[in-house]
Amino acid sequence: MMHYLIYNGESSADYDLLVGAQNTFSTPKRSVTKYTIPGRNGDLIKDNGCFENVSVAYTIVCKNRFESLADSISAWLKSPTSYCRLEDSHHPEYYRMGLVTDAIAYTTGTLNHSAKATVTFDCKPQKWLIEGERVEKFTSAGIIFNPTKFASKPLIKVHGNGQSTLKIGDYSMNLNLQAYVTIDSELMDCTRGNMNMNSYVVLASGFPELKSGMNLITFTGGITSIEITGRWWTI
């Protein structure tokens, strides 16, 4: 099988590149703060509630026409200035968000017709499940299941009108609906199109998260339907 990677919407196959994975199974380091207490064996460890970035490296090989493709390959990999979506055929069920920050050093063959290099992406610690992009719709009470061990920050779209209450797992919120509102737990923002709707949503205990396993969904008032994108992730 010829492996490939897709970065910022473009495939390595578009540039006739062969791709090998080096450390795509690497896991991120947990962010902790350690305290040494005199007279006590072992550090006191405080979990900071997050993971650090992880480096993901690929070997890319251009077997011919490298001299004519070099500028295009470099532009593809190096022009983004913020995290972009990164997928590969080694793990087709996941995607990452990464950015190439290091230089790319090519080892070239005779007359620069071929070349080989290691490309390292500085990635956010999460591997998001492709399955987590699926929108689940509810018109009555139900359950949404998080298949991972990590609580996710979902995208929630609530349709309806008037005063309403929505409960998702341990989270509860009161809403003053006007057609619909989108609640983005990742961005911690409530909107309707380009309009700020944060004043129309009262969160009892912060933006909702979907814990591992089953999450019960109930609602009352003027809510007619709810659409939830789970955004499942793992490391």
Q: Express each pLDDT in 52-62 by its tens digit.
A: 999 999 999 99
15 closest CA partner among 88, 83, 66 = 66
pLDDT at position 25: 79
Q: How would you classify the pairing of strands 84-88 and 94-99?
A: antiparallel
d(CA 206, CA 186): 12
* Contact residues for 20 (Cβ-Cβ < 8 A; gap 6+): 3, 58, 59, 60, 61
User: 90-121, pLDDT tens digit by residue?
Assistant: 999 999 999 999 999 999 998 888 999 999 99
Helices (H) and strands (E) in the chain, counts: 1, 20
CATH code reported for the domain at 5-125: 2.40.30.200
Mean pLDDT of 151-178: 97
d(CA 195, CA 199): 11
* Contact residues for 212 (Cβ-Cβ < 8 A; gap 6+): 146, 148, 149, 150, 151
Architecture of the domain made up of 132-234? Sandwich (2.60)
Whether residue 27 is predicted with pLDDT greater than 80 in this model: the reply is yes
The set of long-range contacts for 41-50, using a CB threshold of 8 Å and a minimum separation of 24, is 50/125
Domain boundaries for CATH 2.40.30.200 within the chain? 5-125
User: 117-155, pLDDT tens digit by residue?
Assistant: 999 999 999 999 999 999 999 999 999 999 999 999 999
pLDDT at position 23: 73
Radius of gyration for the alpha carbons in the chain, expressed in angstroms and rounded: 23
In this structure, how many other beta carbons lie within 10 angstroms of the beta carbon of residue 168? 23
Whether residue 22 is predicted with pLDDT greater than 80 in this model: the reply is no
Domain boundaries for CATH 2.60.120.860 within the chain? 132-234
Angle at 227 between CA 225 and CA 231, to 5 degrees: 160
98 close to 86: Cβ distance less than 8 angstroms: yes
Mean pLDDT of 27-35: 93
Burial of 65 (0-12, 13-18, 19+ CB in 10 A): middle
pLDDT at position 112: 85
In this structure, how many other beta carbons lie within 10 angstroms of the beta carbon of residue 62? 24
